A and B are shown apart, each in its own frame.
Chain A
Amino acid sequence: MTTMLAHRYRRGELHQFRAADNEFIYLVSAGAIFALDEGTRSVLDLLGEDEMDHDDLIAALIVVGNDPADADSLVRELRMVRAIHFDQVVPAPAPAAPPADYPLQALVLNVTNQCNLACTYCYEFGADKIATPQGKPKYMTLETARASVDFLLESSGNREAVHITFFGGETLMNFKLLREVVGYANNQAAAVGRRITFSLTTNATLLTDEIIDFLSDNAIGVTVSMDGPPELQDKRRVYKNGKGSYAVIEPRLRALIARHRTRAITARVTLTDGVTDVIRIYRHLKDDLGFHEVGFAPVTASDTQDYSLDDDAMAGVLGDFHALAEEWLDYALRGEMHGFTNVSETIGELIQGTNKSHPCGAGLGLLGVSPSGDLSPCHRFTDADTHTLGNLATGLDSAKREDFLTRGHVGAKYECQSCWARPLCAGGCHHEAFVRYGETGHANLHYCDWIRDWTDTCLKIYGAVAARNPGFLEHFAQRKGLS
């Protein structure tokens, strides 16, 4: 006697969305995006929130006009990609943790922990600082910088290209070192047949024509930390005497954008209480000053700081993000690049179908190096004793690194397990988590709704471009620096 197992189907873990008159699904277990046809859409509609027997499902599909053979193939196809499940299916596992000897891709060299500005929200010097720089070197020596380059080349496996980001404090307060280490790094990389690329982050106050030419000649990418037009920039990006920095940086920025021809020049805006007019800031930085790209991020703060953003402010920011996102889509459909980094970055991840084990490369492909040679998960943990992952002299402390990565793994974050946005978010910034919750492995719960809304927005943009101008997406296929 033969008894068939009676299968009951239900929707798998997916986020369904609509764009440009098409229906799409984002598969959470994989990060894959599929466009649905009428048939697959009816299967998902029929399943809704309930389960259905195989035979009932097929019968219902025939009722809505599907050929019986086709009905079976619809169900089968959705099942094969795990868009629907039946009983007893073991859920897809969380993304595997990368191997313990994961090769380094990038180092962030904190060439100095000193700064000529005193931005009131600074995570390195402000109220929520975690750095403990007392008694440690303030400026990185050439010896330490060279050791960093050697460490990067040795620890990067067989990657063809590696990357160094210069960071601070104010990076250009140690420009002398930067200039020398670029030459050294180029030589060392060439000697072993590898490529090395560079970028730096600066507040722009110390830029000179000579520096700009050096940056352009060496194709060093530049990110300027700034907050917008004069009254917004000068609200918190101030000198120690309280004087604003806009007037100082404006002519330097114009020179930078005019003379630096080899890399895109980007601005990175920190949104704080009262500095939330995203559209106005974007227009100023993109149109008035000429930055190629502008990206925004809310300030990292425990919620008691006077510069923190409250929920209303975050909602306002999201509204402005939506407006710029629509503009981004209009540009994309015309085949033109828009400079709103927050969309472009997400599109770059969506085209790959990124499914992250960790929110970012910190402690994985990327490490920070402090002026003393201490290693940390990223620049935000520089000089913080409790987060050190070893020292250039003694090497990477693999036990500490493993502990950091184990706690930061998306599978270790309970709240993330039921969230469809986890392939891209993976719980959010480790540093933000530490400042907010005292634990780097804590999900950034204060951003969950925001992130889901924003991911949905970017998925809809992705779907619309995929439907109407798919070739344009190719521009973003290599954006995430997969070297």
Chain B
Amino acid sequence: MKHLKPINIKAQKIGQSVDSLEEDVVALQQQPRPHVPMGCTLSFSPGWEVDAGGGTAGLCQPVERDIYDCYVTCFWPVQVPDHVNYSPDWASNCAAATKDWRNLDLVFP
């Protein structure tokens, strides 16, 4: 953490937990950046998409964003929690999908 300084043991534990989440997401963002193919997804829309190279790094939006989008905005009935009836709070811990997608948990009906 850059801005908050933990000054007791509980705060240090929280800080470590937050930092471990931060370190956890660098795989596709580290320098030097991996080769990123140009272009958007080929044709699989909506659904689980790949980019022109068959990977997920070159999507116009991160793949995590896509998973999340199935939840609120997509008309396609895929296997994500139902935000209308049963899981209205599913995404409430996910403010920015690119950073917080790990907060999206499984749903057990």
Q: Which residues of A contact B (CB under 8 A)?
A: 1-3, 5, 7, 24, 27, 30-37, 39-40, 54, 73-74, 76-81, 83, 86-90, 350-355, 462-463, 466, 470, 477
Q: Which residues of B contact A (CB under 8 A)?
A: 1-11, 13-15, 18, 21, 61, 69, 72-73, 88-89, 91-93, 95-96, 99
Q: Of the candidates A1, A83, A352, A466, which one forms a contact with B7 in the assembled complex, judged by CB atoms under 8 Å apart? A: A466
Q: Is the interface of A mostly helix, strand, loop or mixed?
A: mixed
**In the assembled complex, which residues on chain A have CB atoms less than 8 Å from the CB atom of B93?**
89
Question: Contact at B95–A352, with CB atoms within 8 Å?
Answer: no
Question: Contact at B95–A7, with CB atoms within 8 Å?
Answer: yes
- Chain A residue at minimal CB-CB distance from B19: A80
Q: Of the candidates B1, B13, B61, which one forms a contact with A77 in the assembled complex, judged by CB atoms under 8 Å apart? A: B1
Question: Contact at A32–B11, with CB atoms within 8 Å?
Answer: yes
Question: Contact at A2–B73, with CB atoms within 8 Å?
Answer: yes
A5-B72, A90-B89 in contact; A31/B2 too (CB < 8 A)?
no
Question: Contact at B18–A34, with CB atoms within 8 Å?
Answer: no
Question: Contact at A351–B3, with CB atoms within 8 Å?
Answer: no
Question: Contact at A88–B92, with CB atoms within 8 Å?
Answer: yes
Q: Of the candidates B1, B8, B73, B91, which one forms a contact with A1 in the assembled complex, judged by CB atoms under 8 Å apart? A: B73
**In the assembled complex, which residues on chain B have CB atoms less than 8 Å from the CB atom of A76?**
95-96, 99
Question: Contact at B95–A79, with CB atoms within 8 Å?
Answer: yes
**In the assembled complex, which residues on chain A have CB atoms less than 8 Å from the CB atom of B61?**
2
A81-B14, A88-B88, A90-B89 in contact; A470/B95 too (CB < 8 A)?
no
A24-B7, A350-B8, A351-B9 in contact; A77/B2 too (CB < 8 A)?
yes
What are the nearest 5 A-B pairs in CB distance?
A353-B10, A32-B11, A88-B92, A35-B5, A32-B10
Question: Contact at B7–A35, with CB atoms within 8 Å?
Answer: yes
Question: Contact at B7–A86, with CB atoms within 8 Å?
Answer: no
- Chain B residue at minimal CB-CB distance from A354: B10
Question: Contact at B8–A353, with CB atoms within 8 Å?
Answer: yes
Question: Contact at A36–B4, with CB atoms within 8 Å?
Answer: yes
Q: List 18 A-B contacts (CB under 8 A).
A: A5-B95, A7-B95, A30-B11, A30-B14, A31-B10, A32-B8, A32-B13, A35-B7, A37-B5, A77-B3, A77-B18, A79-B95, A80-B18, A81-B18, A90-B92, A353-B13, A462-B8, A466-B7
Could you tell me the distance between the alpha carbons of A80 and B18 in the complex, rounded to whole angstroms?
7
Question: Contact at B5–A352, with CB atoms within 8 Å?
Answer: no
Question: Contact at A39–B3, with CB atoms within 8 Å?
Answer: yes
**In the assembled complex, which residues on chain A have CB atoms less than 8 Å from the CB atom of B92?**
86-90
